[in-house]
Amino acid sequence: MIRFDGVSKRYDGQDALARVDLEVAQGEMVFLTGHSGAGKSTLMKLIMLMERPSQGQVFVDGRNLNRLSRSQIPYYRRKVGVVFQNHQLLFDRSVFDNVALPLQIAGYQPAETGRRVRAALDKVGLLDKERQNPVVLSGGEQQRVGIARAVVNKPPLLLADEPTGNLDPELSADIMKLFRQFNEVGVTIMIASHDISLLKRMGKRVLGLSKGQVVHDGVLT
């Protein structure tokens, strides 16, 4: 699903990623870990095409991202769901409208949009909050709205950058359970996290990054 071929990313002469090779199979759930500045975010930004590599090639779903033109990027991004640490919700509209945004952009009919948004909100347990403004929700609930928005379009690949960074352990466990459910139905998932105990509990493959290089690959014990 994801393949990095000798990918480097340089910012002002500093290597954020240095000749990274990695492969994530379809349907896999992997964690990225490492200190801040190790290159986790850069790696995800390259997959989201928020950045282009200075060197090397990134393949997603068999497509070479270097070959995607600027005008193709939006259509590519519709197939990648993203969950942000600060959830990036819009506070000028309801929970429903936040989650519906990707569907409106992709051109779904209102009836279909409503059906899918409610299914996604039901999945994250927030169906009763659809009319509320996300600003009144708790941190955990806001993060779940962000997850609903990321999966509402049923993307084959889901990225999450520190999705539990601001949450207490109990809420983190809830969120992780959600990700695991999506993974069980075939979604490839990549989650960046520095919470080592969480990574150990999950028992999934972990990619450890340090100074822009992959220094660990395997289950943490």
Partner 1 sequence: MNPRRPSERASSPARKGGRVPQGASQSRAKVSDRLDSWVGHHSTTAAESLARLLRTPLQSLLTWLVVAVAVALPAALYVALSNVQNLGYSWQESSQLSVFVQRDARPDAISALQTRILERPDVLSVEHIPPDAALEEFKRYSGLGRVVEGLERNPLPDVLLVFPAEAGITPEGLEALQQELESEALIAEARVDMAWVTRLQQLMRLGQRLVLALAGLLALGVLLAIGNTIRLAIENRRDEILVVKLVGGTDAFVRRPFLYTGLWYGMGGGLLALLLVGLGLWWLSGPVAHLADLYQSQFRLQGLGWTHSVQLVLLSGLLGLLGSWLAVARHLSAIEPR
Q: Helices in 7-138 by DSSP H: which ranges? A: 40-48, 73-77, 95-106, 110-123
Contact of 199 with 33, CB cutoff 8 Å: yes
Provide the sign of the torsion angle of the four alpha carbons 69, 75, 78, 79, taken in this order. negative
Q: Closest CB to partner 1 among 31 and 108?
A: 108
101 forms part of the interface with partner 1 (CB under 8 A): yes
From residue 197 to residue 216, the character string flagging contacts with partner 1 as x (rule: CB under 8 A) and all else as - is --------------------
CA–CA separation, 158 vs 176, rounded Å? 13
Please count the residues of this chain forming the interface with partner 1, following the rule CB under 8 A: 53
From residue 123 to residue 162, the character string flagging contacts with partner 1 as x (rule: CB under 8 A) and all else as - is xxxxxx---------------x----x-x-xxxx-x----
Closest approach of partner 1 to the CB of residue 151, in Å: 5
For 34, half-sphere exposure in the C-beta direction (CA atoms, 13 angstrom radius) is 25
From residue 107 to residue 126, the character string flagging contacts with partner 1 as x (rule: CB under 8 A) and all else as - is xxxx-x-----xx--xxxxx
From candidates 64, 88, 138, 197, binder to partner 1 by CB under 8 A = 88
Closest approach of partner 1 to the CB of residue 49, in Å: 9
Closest approach of partner 1 to the CB of residue 7, in Å: 18
Q: Helices in 18-159 by DSSP H: which ranges? A: 40-48, 73-77, 95-106, 110-123, 139-151
Q: Closest CB to partner 1 among 94 and 213?
A: 94
Contact of 8 with 15, CB cutoff 8 Å: yes
8: left (phi over 0), alpha (psi -120 to 50) or beta: beta
CA–CA separation, 145 vs 83, rounded Å? 10
From residue 58 to residue 77, the character string flagging contacts with partner 1 as x (rule: CB under 8 A) and all else as - is ---x---------x--xxxx
**Residues lying near partner 1 in the complex (CB under 8 A):** 45, 48, 50-51, 61, 71, 74-79, 81-82, 88, 90, 92, 101-102, 104-110, 112, 118-119, 122-128, 144, 149, 151, 153-156, 158, 174, 177-178, 181-182, 184-187
